Amino acid sequence: MSAHRNWAGNVRYAARAYHRPSSMDELRELVAGSDRIRAVGSGHSFNRLGDTTGDLVTLAGLPATVRLDEERRTVDVPAAMRYGDLATWLHERGYALANLASLPHISVAGAVATGTHGSGNAVGNLATAVAGLELVTAAGELLTVDRDADDFAGMVVSFGALGIVTRLTLDVVPTFDVRQYVCLDLPRSALDAAFGSAYSVSVFTDWRSTRGTQVWRKQLAEQAAPPADWLGTTPADRPWHPVPGMPVVNCTEQLGVAGPWHERLPHFRLGFTPSSGDELQSEYHLPRAVAADALAALDEVAHLIAPVAQTSELRTIAADELWLSPNHGRDSLAVHFTWIADASAVLPVVAEVERALAPFAPRPHWGKVFTLAPHAIAATYPRWPEFTALLHHLDPKGKFRTEDLDHLFPR
């Protein structure tokens, strides 16, 4: 990410000024004195939800202290810290996070604010690990909230609309080892069995057939290896990359070699380019109960998807109670698309994907490309009115607003 563009390069930030405060006092003074301000993390968002015509601030210059509370099984971290760096720090001390996203390069606050995923039938998205938040409010005051606060469930996944989050407290678990196996050519009929077969499972498809081209099984190290004929697949005899043609050295180790959780749960290694690096992304979260019908509906537009998709990933996420989490109140199937980096070719296909999924109450990933109308998104979130009220209460003058936020939550 450059100072003026997001990671993918498809968004050029409209900010009038860029800031890197080195202390909390400096940040609070900056927020209090600005009429429009937003924080930027690793820039791994593919839309303008976090863009602003006002001040853009990075928190990377704030003190990077990490505090582990072994009694409470929590860790207190700076908002700008990357998951990969936090994971290494925790593992060295005998602890882990329950889940990680497919790439460890993203900042903790940014991933939480957008409800960014991990995967696994029994595992919630990254935001579900949040036990507390510290944020700077529109008045420049420091507010600390935890799970006992009345509105806490509305403040975790809030895309920076309620204030600038400066620190987060996350639940931790004892460290653990994982083995990763890749299997090829999964029949669609075996999809549910595949998702339930390991701690975290991702199924990749190219939409040229109904079969999964690759299944990435991330199983606890003590679990038995899958048999050679597992669910009718073929075991990979070499490492694979989910995007055809990309170097496999970028990916985490496969072939069943045991290793620490943080070196297996992501698809990509911290020191290497994630995904293809030249792409757009979309993702839709659907109720697990309608997964088969939703995938059948996408089959009807597969001939449009395939020419502009580099790869597509299916994964599951457990339900949670966070108001604007894409997984609020329902176990979910996430359908992810890694598109070519051509918005003019991709956006019409995105619209067709959304049309096909419309009967199944899709929720878009907040940080990716989508065109769904605000009323259609709002209808899928039971706590949307409560969040809207919270937004007006904590930011009555719209200091943290953006054009896209105004579109979603009119004033």
Residue-wise pLDDT for 60-101, tens only, equals 999 999 999 999 999 999 999 999 999 999 999 999 999 999
- Looking at residue 36, its amino acid is R
Calculate the alpha carbon distances from 222 to 117, 178, 180 in Å: 25, 8, 12
* Pairwise CA distance, residues 72 & 185, whole Å: 44
Range 369-374 average pLDDT: 96
- Looking at residue 156, its amino acid is V
Res 123: pLDDT: 95
Percentage of residues in the chain with pLDDT exceeding 90? 87
Domain ranges within the chain, ordered by starting residue: 17-58, 67-174, 177-368
Task: Give strand pairing partners of 205.
Answer: 312
Calculate the alpha carbon distances from 167 to 76, 106, 148, 220, 303 in Å: 7, 15, 17, 30, 45
> Selecting from 2.60.40.10, 1.25.40.10, 3.90.1310.10, 3.30.43.10, what CATH number does the domain 17-58 have?
3.30.43.10
Res 276: pLDDT: 64
Task: Tell me the pLDDT of the chain averaged across its residues.
Answer: 94
Res 292: pLDDT: 97
Identify whether the C-beta of residue 399 lies closer than 8 Å to the C-beta of residue 148.
Answer: no
* pLDDT of 346 strictly over 80: yes
Range 153-177 average pLDDT: 97
Can 67-174 and 177-368 be said to share one CATH topology?
A: no
* pLDDT of 245 strictly over 70: yes
For residue 337, name the pLDDT band (cuts at 50, 70, 90): very high
CATH of domain 67-174: 3.30.465.10
Q: Which is higher by pLDDT, 271 or 353?
A: 353
For residue 49, name the pLDDT band (cuts at 50, 70, 90): confident
Range 245-257 average pLDDT: 95
Identify whether the C-beta of residue 78 lies closer than 8 Å to the C-beta of residue 166.
Answer: yes
Percentage of residues in the chain with pLDDT exceeding 70? 98
Which CATH fold would you assign to the domain 177-368?
Alpha-Beta Plaits (3.30.70)
For residue 42, name the pLDDT band (cuts at 50, 70, 90): confident
* 187 contacts: CB under 8 Å, gap ≥ 6: 211, 231, 232
Identify whether the C-beta of residue 73 lies closer than 8 Å to the C-beta of residue 97.
Answer: no
Res 3: pLDDT: 59
Res 51: pLDDT: 85
What tens digit of pLDDT does each residue of 269-315 get?
987 777 666 889 999 999 999 999 999 999 999 999 999 999 999 99
Res 1: pLDDT: 44
* pLDDT of 128 strictly over 60: yes
For residue 375, name the pLDDT band (cuts at 50, 70, 90): very high
Task: Give strand pairing partners of 313.
Answer: 204, 336
Res 6: pLDDT: 76
* 387 contacts: CB under 8 Å, gap ≥ 6: 154, 158, 323, 324, 381, 409
* Pairwise CA distance, residues 219 & 232, whole Å: 19
Structure-token match 């001040």, residue found: 55
Range 215-243 average pLDDT: 96
Range 137-141 average pLDDT: 97
Q: Which is higher by pLDDT, 211 or 153?
A: 153
Calculate the alpha carbon distances from 327 to 17, 162, 371, 376 in Å: 35, 20, 19, 16
| Tokens of residue 384, six digits | 């949307």
